[in-house]
A and B are shown apart, each in its own frame.
Chain A
Amino acid sequence: MTLLDFARGIGMEIALSIFALGVLWRLFSLLLLPWSKERSVKRADAPSSLVAGTQGFFRHMWPAQTSASMFVTINGYVFHIGLAIVVFGFAQHILFIKGLFGLTWPGIPSTFINIVAVITLASLVAALVRRISNPVTRLLSGFNDYFSWTVTALPVLTGLLAVGHYIEPYETILALHILSVELLLIWFPFGKLMHAFLVFLTRSETGIFYSRRGVDI
């Protein structure tokens, strides 16, 4: 079995299993904690929890006050959207996903994907530079933050190297690319990347908390 065979086969199966079980475990261990019971009387015109939660989710898509953090907001959108385009828009990825799950959809031209991948990588680097250079984020950041950044950036980097045939043999860099994705999948549930799921909980719970008080933030 070559490294590529391993990465494509058993490696991917293990990584996906850890990812799925890990995410479920994290979510259930949160959702099974006690829930606070709210006994205060909500405002007469407060919307239902479903509406308030949804509003809360959308409200926090943009900071209520524009400040020095505008760079963080915009740059954050650039790499999040960039990652989504590259992961789900690249024809080879779609083929790979079809092989795994049988699902498919039309791809985006590879030239465009390449440009987006380069922008995404640049944006990730900018996020890292900011994290290290800004005294606030430097103080907040620890292993989890830097490792989560690394496992996110590596697949983009190795993907670009593979597509551009910058490293030979191609099979090796392709295997490394797939392994880097597996590293991301394995780390995902246990580190900061889990925010991709938790964001639905936190934003909507805050939305409900404030809207029952009649506060629009």
Chain B
Amino acid sequence: MTQTVDVQAAANAFLARTEEHLVSYLEACVHCGMCADACHFHEASGDPRHTPAYKLFPMAKAYRSQKFPYNLLAPKITEKDLKEWEELLFDTCTMCGRCTTVCPMGIDIASIVGQARQAFVAAGLGPDDLMQAAQNSKDHGSALNVTPERFSDRLEWLEDENEIPIPVDKEKADILLTISSIETMKYPDSIVAMAKILNHAGVSWTTSTKGYEATNFGYLAGRGDIAKIMVNRIVEAAEACGAKTVVIPECGHAYGVLRWGAANMIGRALPFEVLHISEFMAKLKREGKLKLTPVKESITYHDPCQISRRGGATEEARYLLDGFAEDFREMTPTGNLNWCCGGGGGVQAIGRTADLRHKVFKIKIDQVEKTGASTLVSSCSNCRLTMDESKEALHWGGGLGSLVELVADHLIEDEAPVEAAE
């Protein structure tokens, strides 16, 4: 690697973010190692370096090396440290929050990792492909280069193919639907499914070429500047059409960033409510607006970390599946304690992590096989992509599906009060 590493910039960038809770977290760790067993990367690799607490070492070092009286003795952070930890902070942390659930000190490692990545990027580090995904988001509108033109072309094509209205840039709408480029490029059926459900509900909705990309690679890549640009695009799009609700598609981190992080990034409360598509569907069900035929096949549900453990929408998927999926089987552990897919936090976009991700997927295979369910359903296209890739690499025969597609496939269309297309 011929990167120049600006060690001081990393230290400065991290220290600029030393808010009270981050430093308390760093200082309180008693090095008990309990978090190791909770982290899927450590579980899969057995490598002690994958212990969550260990991933924070350079930040603790950066803090101590400028804090009296530790600075008198504490070693300074070095280029070697940063290079070693680049891999640990980017490749081996999905910011899933699972380690927090076992930590006797209640340290939230994922919070620090998010901040630490920004420091590493300031130093000129970070995996090339992840950095490129963030740059693409800024320059072209999305990580996978889905430009506004490509986006509207694609939706138009889906609209024609499926004979279903998918509004783009409607002047006024109550709901703005955002989409993940993973769906646009790899799982377009999810887009069609969301459109079907929104039309079925008879709500006024649109997508927007001003702000369509839900997945915020700026955040995942430690590019705070790009993260903010991505959030602002959605905010402006929602304000332009007067949307009171922004619906996040099946993407965990998109939800985490917009629902819980965005207001802090732009320094003001969001002018709309943010709902993940699973929350939106549960809401429709509660309001009696979702008429479904039951699912007969046996299914189990993978909790995307940012929707469940770090998002708080754990029960919404269950509520939706209750009575709908006739043979629903919970895996163990499940809900807030479910294992991560191994591809969140941008890890999916880092090519060199593939082998490690496949190892992590074995944990999921084991969980699913114990339920005996024929299909594993998730509500995150990033989880789905991660699992699809590993499924292929490991030649696993189990079925993988999406919650929103499952619902859309079982809609009773006749009774639907479909809104007239424009």
Contacts and interface: CB of A to CB of B under 8 A. Distances in A.
A39 B308 CA distance: 20
A111 interface: no
Contact of A33 (B19, B268, B313): B19
A69 B100 contact: no
B53 A65 contact: no
Interface string A181-217: 0000000001010110011011111110110011111
B162 interface: no
Given A209-B108, A217-B309, A63 B69 contact: no
B312 interface: yes
B49 interface: yes
B49 A139 contact: yes
A60 B104 CA distance: 5
B106 A30 contact: no
Contact of B20 (A30, A134, A204): A30
A1 interface: no
> Which among A131, A204, A213 has the greatest number of chain B C-beta atoms within 10 A?
A213
B54 A140 contact: yes
B102 A34 contact: no
Interface in B91-119: 97, 100-108, 111
B310 interface: yes
B31 A145 contact: yes
Interface residues on B, range: 35 or more
Contacts of B28: 194-195, 198-199, 201-202
A135 interface: yes
Interface in A10-36: 29-31, 33-36
Interface string B47-88: 011010110000000000001011000000000000000000
Nearest to A26: B27
Contacts of A103: none
Contacts, number: 170
Given A41-B269, A64-B337, A139 B311 contact: no
A31 B20 contact: yes
Contacts of A29: 67
A208 to B, nearest CB: 9
Interface in B231-280: 259-264, 267-270, 273
Given A63-B34, A69-B37, A201 B69 contact: no
Interface string B274-295: 0000000000000000000000
Contacts of A138: 48
Nearest to A33: B20
A56 interface: yes
Contacts of A131: 31
A206 B106 contact: yes
Contacts of A168: none
Interface string A149-164: 0000000000000000
Contact of A195 (B105, B312, B336, B337): B105
Contacts of B38: 65, 67
Contacts of B261: 40
B185 interface: no
A172 B264 CA distance: 60
Nearest to A137: B33
Contacts of A216: 336
Nearest to A203: B106
A65 B32 CA distance: 16
Contacts of A31: 20
B106 A56 contact: yes
Contact of B102 (A33, A57, A64, A139): A64
B24 A73 contact: no
A37 B100 CA distance: 21
B23 interface: yes
A73 to B, nearest CB: 7
A217 B31 CA distance: 21
Contacts of A198: 24, 27-28, 105
6 contacts: A136-B33, A192-B31, A199-B104, A202-B24, A215-B336, A217-B309
- Smallest CB-CB A-B distances: 3 pairs: A214-B312, A203-B106, A39-B263
